[in-house]
Amino acid sequence: MRWDESHESPDVVDRRGERSGGGGGMSGLLGALPFLIRSPFGWVVLLVAGGVYLFQGMGSSSRDTTSAPGQRVVGESRNAPRGEEQAKHFVSFVLDDVQKTWTGLLGNSPPYRHAKLVLFTRATETGCGYGRAATGPFYCPLDERAYIDLSFFRELEGRLHAKGDFAQAYVIAHEIGHHVQKILGITARGQRLRGQPEEGENGTSVRMELQADCFAGIWGHSTAQRDVLESGDLDEALGAAAAVGDDRLQRQATGTVSPETWTHGSSKERARWFRRGFDTGDLKACDTFTARQL
């Protein structure tokens, strides 16, 4: 994709290298109640008072953004940014582009409010408790921030075999997709559906995650309309979506697949819903909650 290698974002909070406490400092916000945050790999349960987290799936062992004619462009398709400083500029560019897109799409009903994106190293405190890089990137609806350890992108390319800059961009757009769900009231509605099956291939969690994939695809549709994409970029995003499917991650981890424990959907479903958003650019096309087949 075409992007400005010197881009800076006021919405990126850089905590890399900071030493974090054990998470107990957040206990005053939520007491001992568990809170769920989301990553591409599964539900993450943070027990705030003790700073304990559990997760399902596999975790890892970082203004105007439209490229103008003549603007310096970095990276060819299938070549992800190298080095953490370059990755920071890339994340900044994608974040601002995603948020500018949603500002235009939502208008004033309701108006889009910017999320922050926190870059951290290994572990950090969040509005939802204590977060670690092992969970992968995640979004906390209480502080409306996404969190990424940039080492995840090396994991994405290496262990998960999802290469390319647009594969990385998909991850950011997916997390901001959860922020859009918060703004639209979908997150709150999803919490009221807790009486229905949460896990499983047709559960509430899967439907929430596939919708975030579809929302990421809507941003992808916008980039295609604005000639930001390069040849091969769509395949990179589809490959990344498939790489973090529950079935593929379970098979890699245990050699077996257990659909009754799914939280994010299969590889095929994740790629399908991203593609649906990409092809239509339409919020209505992303209604996973009324879809009979995911």
pLDDT digits (tens, 9 = 90+) for 152-185: 999 999 999 999 999 999 999 999 999 999 999 9
Cβ pair 241, 163 in contact under 8 A? no
**Do the Cβ atoms of 112 and 103 come closer than 8 Å?**
yes
140 three-class SS: strand
The residue type of 134 is A
Per residue in 80-136, pLDDT (tens digit) is 666 888 999 999 999 999 999 999 999 998 999 999 999 999 999 999 998 999 889
What is the residue-wise DSSP string for 74-107?
---TT----SHHHHHHHHHHHHHHHHHHHHHHHT
- Give the whole-angstrom CA distance, residue 262 versus residue 45: 15
**Two structure tokens written together for 282:** 């339409």
With 90 as the cut, is the pLDDT of residue 36 above it?
Answer: no
d(CA 284, CA 199): 24
pTM of the model: 0.82
Put the strands of the sheet holding 42-47 in their side by side order: 12-14, 116-119, 145-148, 138-140, 34-39, 42-47, 52-55
Length of the chain: 294
pLDDT above 70 covers a percentage of the chain that reads 76
The whole-angstrom separation of Cα 165 and Cα 223 is: 13
How far apart are the C-alpha atoms of 1 and 164, rounded to whole Å? 9
Average pLDDT over residues 3-20: 90
Report the distance separating Cα 129 and Cα 28, nearest Å. 10
pLDDT at 78: 43
Nearest Cα residue to 96 out of 219, 274, 178: 219
DSSP class of residue 213 equals H
Q: Bigger pLDDT: 194 or 125?
A: 125
